[in-house]
Amino acid sequence: MQKVIITFAIGLVGVFIFKYFSLPLPWMMGPVLSVAIASNLPNITTQKLTSNIANPARVVIGVTVGSAFSASIINDLDNYMFSILLIIPFILLSTIFGVLYYHKLGGIDKNSAFFASQPGGFVEMVILAQSSGADVRKVILAQSSRLMIIVLALPFLIHTFLNIELPKSNAGNALPSIINIQINDALLMLLCGLTGWWIASKIKLGAASLLGPMAVSMVFYVFDFIHQRPPFELLNLVQLILGASIGSSFSGIGFKEFSKTLLFGAGHFIILLLLSLIFGVFSVWITGENWLSVLLAFSPGGQSDMNLIAILVGANVPFVALHHTFRLFIVMAILPVMHRNFDKFIKKKI
């Protein structure tokens, strides 16, 4: 427990530093950087945060994503379908280029490179890697480094190339303060979160703590049972938890391996960013959606992190969430089959 408190304290230091220098998304990016650096300093011991801590944060994100849905957005879903289907070739190309990159340049065995290359779904990839005999440590480091770089780089890319001013204080432009939340809305949000999580866990749905609350709360908001969205103070806390969680995944690896891991993560991020931009061009052309939402929809980060950034920067949250949800379902449904056939392919071709 003491290590957990120290980890969050270091995360808060990152928040204050980012706030002092007026850097964007301080509650998320500050903890990512401060905890990652502190995790590799001598005489400082941080704690890798467990799912018991991260899952409640994902529940809040799920409810917040669900709160962005409305009846009018549901009617527009058919306009998203062709863009969502682009996720399938995106995953295939990401896997091919990722395996080539990690195996040829990174020296990782082909089996581990397969899971290291998957765009998103950190927890799911680790579970599948364990059952497939891959080097789990290498998969964790590869996935963590890419996730960290995406979370740190995307806000600056959005600000620089899309000329969008990112929030530097409160989370979410349209979220209320906790003091203005009606008690009945708060109770219904809690009900959506816990019920959705329980149902999704019972049916063994991937990312249950996120997708279950998202689905249940979406129904409540579409039918106008809940009138307010979750408070920004709660989203700030969620950012602190997820940011510290990402940073703490580098605990104890040493600066040399830390630097090497980030270097390879940066290279993989560039490859995936180029693929995201290519598919993004088609998505913008098909849907007419803005580049901010499209970039986040095809960004190779985790469900929780990309949806959270979408909420914070004012993107089209349902558009982003549906793309990442479909990607998770595709990955979890076809990845074992894809892995078996891809293994035969890489033995011959790579």
The answer to whether 70 and 316 have CB atoms below 8 angstroms apart is no
Greatest alpha-carbon span in the chain = 62
CATH number for the domain harbouring residue 104: 1.20.1530
Cα 340–chain centre separation: 26
CA distances from 169 to 152, 270, 322, 337 (A): 17, 29, 27, 45
pTM for this entry: 0.86
Report the amino acid identity of residue 294.
Answer: V
Among 257, 324, 267, which Cα is nearest to 97's? 267
Amino acid at 14: G
Predicted pLDDT at 73: 76
Per-residue pLDDT of the chain (350 residues; tens, 9 = 90+): 788 888 999 999 999 999 988 888 899 999 999 998 888 787 777 767 777 888 999 999 999 999 999 887 777 778 899 999 999 999 989 988 998 999 888 888 888 888 888 876 677 777 777 777 788 888 888 888 888 898 888 888 888 888 877 766 555 556 889 999 999 999 999 999 999 999 999 998 878 999 999 999 999 999 999 999 999 999 999 999 999 988 888 877 777 888 888 888 899 999 999 999 999 999 999 999 999 999 999 998 888 889 988 988 889 999 999 999 998 888 777 776 777 666 665 555 55
Q: Note the pLDDT of residue 152.
A: 86
pLDDT of residue 186: 97
Domain that holds residue 102: 2-349
Q: Is the dihedral of CA 266, 267, 269, 274 positive or negative?
A: positive
CA-to-CA separations, 198 to 137, 191, 216, in angstroms, rounded: 30, 11, 11
Closest CA to 239 of 25, 2, 9, 88: 25
Find out whether 209 and 197 touch, Cβ atoms under 8 Å: yes
- Tell me, what's the pLDDT at 253? 78
Q: How far is CA 196 from the centre of its chain?
A: 19
What is the Cα–Cα distance from 279 to 11, expressed in whole angstroms?
35
Q: Are 220 and 66 in contact (CB under 8 A)?
A: yes
Number of domains in the chain: 1
Per-residue DSSP letters for 96-143? HHHHHIIIIIT---HHHHHHHTSSS-HHHHHHHHHHTT--HHHHHHHH
